[in-house]
Amino acid sequence: ASTLQETTERAGSNRDLGLIDRKSMIHPFTPLRTFSDGETGGPVVVDRGSGAWIETADGRRLLDGFAGLYCVNIGYGRPEMAEAIAAQAGKLAYYHAYAGHTSEPAALLAERILEMAPANMRRVFFGLSGSDANDTQVKLVWFYNNILGRPTKKKIIARERGYHGATVMASSLTGMRFYHEGFDAPSGPVLHTTVPHHYWGAEPGMDEAGFVAKCVADLEALIAREGADTIAAFIGEPVLGTGGLIPPPAGYWPAIQAVLRRHDILLIADEVVCGFGRVGHNFGCDAYGIEPDLITVAKGLTSAYLPLSAAIVGERVWSVLEQSSDARGPFAHGYTYSAHPTCAAAGLANLDVIARENLIERVAEFAPQFQAAFQDAFAGHPHVGEVRGTGMLAAIEFVADRDSKRRFDLSEKIGARLSAAALEGGLITRSMPHGDILGFAPPLVIDTNDLDFMIEKTKSAIASVFPGV
């Protein structure tokens, strides 16, 4: 009875909740003043979720075509997740991992991650977000070169349009102007190289192989300009995510890795999106033949039921850290919540679901149908420049003119209007920065009906934004 009463009270206070929120909270990527004053509408109060669907407090059911922020890989509302979290919280919600303390779920999860990771991975350092895990990677890389007596080998190469997070260091790595402007993200130790997007980056007539050669030449030129003895690491997402869902051109990763090896530059694979099944493999590096020295994971590690990330450390870095340890003393890095037992329990339960339901294999099997559905429905539209994707990631990029690849004027806000129109129809998509790009990354559990719904609602959205085309 008390639950019913609570629910009724919650529903009855929705308007107040909106007001409370607007007057209390700063939201990521939300206009501050207009939102706060209620001019943009909202907030959207999301109340519950089940499978690939969420429900708002005012009773709208929406298919979540972006799995939250491509993180709810196993879908919403899993009772086994709630049970695992409750059981651990009841037994031991928290203890720290400093000075050699651990808990059963943390130890087991670290082992489990290493079992799934490439063979050269040796240890796992837990954090809470993709951003803090990338910060950890940079500190590890700097520490490694200090131990090796190479105090100048410190710069990190990231890529234009790469996304690595929003902490001070991670936003510096992120190759997007708006993450830097206004925030003084320190640019000193970070360099950005060419984004491997053939559609926009290739010169006229240049095929994929030619474009890969250009990306490699650009990287070589950057290294030559800066000096390999000043560059510690290269960080990249196996499939570029927030920058536009861009699968690499064939042969890109092996060619890039060869350059890095020649110059003794470590490779950090940012697998925050790709890790744990999104592209039909355990990790994106498995799909593209990369052998990273360090791997960053978050999102799909717990399917976002609780926050958890990890910096996975490979043999090359681990062996140096380990050998220097007697001389250096305890590893001086960590967070109160590193290896949080309840978050680790969520991670284990999530990986159990993934294994029990063969979700990674399922993505590999379903991906051809998923990709073909987008190609068939949208590639021929006069305002579609490119349909691209891999695994269960897909993007449609819109242009004003296909032949000249002329973009729409920014003021037309085509991407935002398309995602708003899809939302009207009950489908959540993501309008990605850097052009008019609609992104799709649903929970890995969607079925054919859900896919049909996504395609139909996207078609209707396009028809409403481009009437008569």
Q: Report the interface residues with ligand PLP, using CB under 6 A.
A: 69, 129-131, 134, 163-165, 237, 241-242, 270, 272-273, 298
Residue whose pair of structure tokens reads 């990674």 in the numeric block: 360
Cα–Cα nearest to 217, from 284, 231, 225: 225
* Residue placing its CB nearer to ligand PLP in the complex, 385 or 439: 439
Closest residue to bound ligand PLP by CB: 130
Q: Report, in Å, the least distance between residue 27 CB and ligand PLP.
A: 14
Amino acid identity of residue 365, one-letter, is E
Classify residue 406 by its DSSP letter. Answer: B
Q: Report, in Å, the least distance between residue 168 CB and ligand PLP.
A: 12
Q: Report, in Å, the least distance between residue 292 CB and ligand PLP.
A: 13
The DSSP bridge partners found for residue 190 are: 156
Q: Report, in Å, the least distance between residue 404 CB and ligand PLP.
A: 31
Angstrom CA distances, 66 to 70, 173, 240, 371, 431, stand at 5, 24, 15, 15, 10
* Residue placing its CB nearer to ligand PLP in the complex, 43 or 175: 175
Q: Report, in Å, the least distance between residue 347 CB and ligand PLP.
A: 14
Residue 340: which residues within 8 A CB-CB, separation 6 or more? 94, 106, 126, 128, 306, 308
Exposed e or buried b per residue across 427-442, where buried means at least 16 C-beta atoms within 10 angstroms of its C-beta = bbbbbbbbbbbbbbbb
Q: Report, in Å, the least distance between residue 152 CB and ligand PLP.
A: 27
Share in percent of the chain as helix, strand, coil (round to 5):
45, 15, 35
Classify residue 245 by its DSSP letter. Answer: -
The DSSP bridge partners found for residue 313 are: 123, 294
Q: Report, in Å, the least distance between residue 19 CB and ligand PLP.
A: 28
* Residue placing its CB nearer to ligand PLP in the complex, 383 or 430: 430
Euclidean distance between CA atoms 435 and 245, whole angstroms = 12
* Residue placing its CB nearer to ligand PLP in the complex, 338 or 385: 338
Euclidean distance between CA atoms 127 and 120, whole angstroms = 21
Helix, strand or coil, per DSSP, at residue 87: helix
* Residue placing its CB nearer to ligand PLP in the complex, 176 or 399: 176
* Residue placing its CB nearer to ligand PLP in the complex, 242 or 350: 242
Euclidean distance between CA atoms 44 and 57, whole angstroms = 8
* Residue placing its CB nearer to ligand PLP in the complex, 105 or 244: 244
